[in-house]
């Protein structure tokens, strides 16, 4: 008579034995209460294991993965969970790399200032003044800078208190500008520092800009943005 060791029983439960061996196991099991009990447990475990990860099967597959399967992604750009983006990655490694960027923007002057403020305000706010050629632009930029400061505060608050997926909204009725800040995911790096991906939708009178960013919290409780991806941003910004 064959020995009903664990390996044999497991292979039996998995249907991996040839018919002859399986019959031998069955006749052995008929005389062995303990082995029968083991098989029962192994079957229960196998059944549970089989479905343990099925929630993942029923979730919607994120669009960026479908894009990757179809060969449509830009390599290395994987920040949005919810939607695809033809995004441009800006890494805030140093201030120097950003100076030339706004020259390429094909926007109206005020919008250019707004855009430069929006992008550069996070990296080092002083750069945008280079774009100020006249008084009107300075005023527009000042108003933008005020909104920018308020939005930075709102973003900081959203990152500090909001659960991922919940938006914090901000509006300035005077300028007609509004924004929504939504933390998307939370990380912790090796040193224990918290970082969060977020989505920012800024709505002006004539346009909506969506950006995705990654911000990390410093010791003083300020969230510093490390990089941004501009959704539908001007191609020149690359």
Return residues touching another protein (CB under 8 A): 6-7, 10-11, 14, 16, 41-42, 45-46, 48-59, 61-62, 64-66, 68-71, 73, 75, 78, 81, 160, 163-165, 185-191, 194-195, 217, 221
Which DSSP category does 74 fall into?
A: P
CB of 227 to another protein, least distance (A): 12
Element (H, E) at 114: helix 109-120
Residue among 42 and 237 whose Cβ is closer to another protein = 42
CB of 55 to another protein, least distance (A): 4
Give Cα separations from 194 to 151, 186, 188 (angstroms).
Answer: 21, 7, 5
Residue among 54 and 205 whose Cβ is closer to another protein = 54
- Contact (Cβ atoms closer than 8 angstroms) between residue 193 and residue 216: yes
Residue among 197 and 231 whose Cβ is closer to another protein = 197
Q: Which long-range contacts (CB under 8 A, 24 or more apart) does 36-41 make?
A: 38/6, 38/9, 39/9, 39/12, 39/13
Residue among 178 and 194 whose Cβ is closer to another protein = 194
State the CB neighbour count (10 A cutoff) for residue 70: 8
Burial (CB < 10 A; 0-12, 13-18, 19+), residue 13, is buried
CB of 223 to another protein, least distance (A): 11
> Phi/psi of residue 25, each to 5°?
-60, -45
CB of 33 to another protein, least distance (A): 17
Residue among 135 and 190 whose Cβ is closer to another protein = 190
CB of 15 to another protein, least distance (A): 9
């Amino acid at each position: 008579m064959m020995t009903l060791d664990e390996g044999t029983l497991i292979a039996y439960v998995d249907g991996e034995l040839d018919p002859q061996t399986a019959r031998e196991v069955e006749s052995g099991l008929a005389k062995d209460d303990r082995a029968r009990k083991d098989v029962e447990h192994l079957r229960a475990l196998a059944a549970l294991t089989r479905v343990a990860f099925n929630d993942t099967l029923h979730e919607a597959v994120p669009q960026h993965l479908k894009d990757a399967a179809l060969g449509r992604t830009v390599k290395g750009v994987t920040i949005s969970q919810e939607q695809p983006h033809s995004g441009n990655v800006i890494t805030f490694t140093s201030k120097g790399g950003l100076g030339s960027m706004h020259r390429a923007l094909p926007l109206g002057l005020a919008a250019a200032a707004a855009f430069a403020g929006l992008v550069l305000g996070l990296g080092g706010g002083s750069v945008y003044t280079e774009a100020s050629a006249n008084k009107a632009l300075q005023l527009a930029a000042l108003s933008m800078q005020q909104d920018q400061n308020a939005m930075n505060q709102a973003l900081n608050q959203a990152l500090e208190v909001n659960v991922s997926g919940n938006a914090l909204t901000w509006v300035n009725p005077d300028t007609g500008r509004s924004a929504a800040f939504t933390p998307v995911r939370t990380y912790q790096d090796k040193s224990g520092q918290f970082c969060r991906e977020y989505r920012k939708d800024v709505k002006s009178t004539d346009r909506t800009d969506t950006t995705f960013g990654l911000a990390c919290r410093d010791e003083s409780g300020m969230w510093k943005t490390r990089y941004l991806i501009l959704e539908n941003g001007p191609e020149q910004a690359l």
